[in-house]
Copies of this chain bind each other. A is one copy, B any other.
Amino acid sequence: MTKAKGPAPPTFDAAFKERFRDLVLWRRDVRRFRSDPVDDALLRHLLELASRSPSVGHSQPWRFVVVNDASRRAAVAASFRRANVSALEGYAGEQRARYARLKLEGLNEAPMHLAVFADEETPAGNGLGRQTMPETIRYSVVAAVQTLWLAARAEGLGIGWISIVEPDVIKEALDVPGSWTLVAYLCIGWPVEEHMDPELERQAWEARSEVILVER
């Protein structure tokens, strides 16, 4: 390994790797938040780090929207309720009863709402890498969300990703440019409790799967 100039590349020892493993294992989708606020400077710090995630053609297409306006938050919550009622109607019997008991979001409790979009028309990157797989512009934003999630957990901060919303309604409610696609609507705040197992496992909705790895 050679390195011509600049800071020396880091190496990561066994203790770090063990802690990183803890970080990954203890990252949860949080739906129960305390009411105390999240500092804007902390969010900015986390987003600076998330923005060092990989992006197709170095396009850096992530666009972050903090949602503070009460009427906009109400529109998001209404969208969740509609989408959730519709989803509930797709289940029957005991599964329907179990779905109805799940707590799937913390929209009312979370002190911070962060919508994350992909700018589909950013000139950055000059289209490199996006001709045959244009979805990679959105995938780049997902990579940033996962980095944000881990960085937040390292601070003790919880994140919940709400996918039970109508993307067009959210986009309209937040009045963002037409070229932006909603990738993730996140609730952010200090968690009421910490767990190593996902809530959907504890509620017996779905179990941990084996890793599927095949050779070709």
Chain B residues with Cβ below 8 Å from A20 are 20, 23, 150-151, 154
Docked complex Cα distance between A135 and B48 (Å): 26
A212-B64 in contact (CB<8A): yes
Interface size on A, residues (CB 8 A): 112
A99-B72 in contact (CB<8A): no
B216-A72 in contact (CB<8A): yes
The distance from the CB of A205 to the nearest CB of chain B, in whole angstroms, is 7
A197 to chain B: closest residue by CB? B6
* A19 partner, pick from B16, B151, B175, B176, beta carbons under 8 A: B16
Docked complex Cα distance between A22 and B104 (Å): 34
With A1-B194, A139-B142 already in contact, 20 other A-B pairs whose C-beta atoms are closer than 8 Å = A1-B191, A7-B196, A9-B196, A10-B19, A12-B19, A12-B22, A24-B53, A24-B147, A27-B52, A44-B211, A44-B213, A58-B198, A64-B212, A68-B216, A125-B206, A128-B206, A131-B164, A132-B167, A139-B139, A143-B149
4 residue pairs, one from A and one from B, having the closest CB atoms: A9-B194, A142-B142, A58-B206, A58-B200
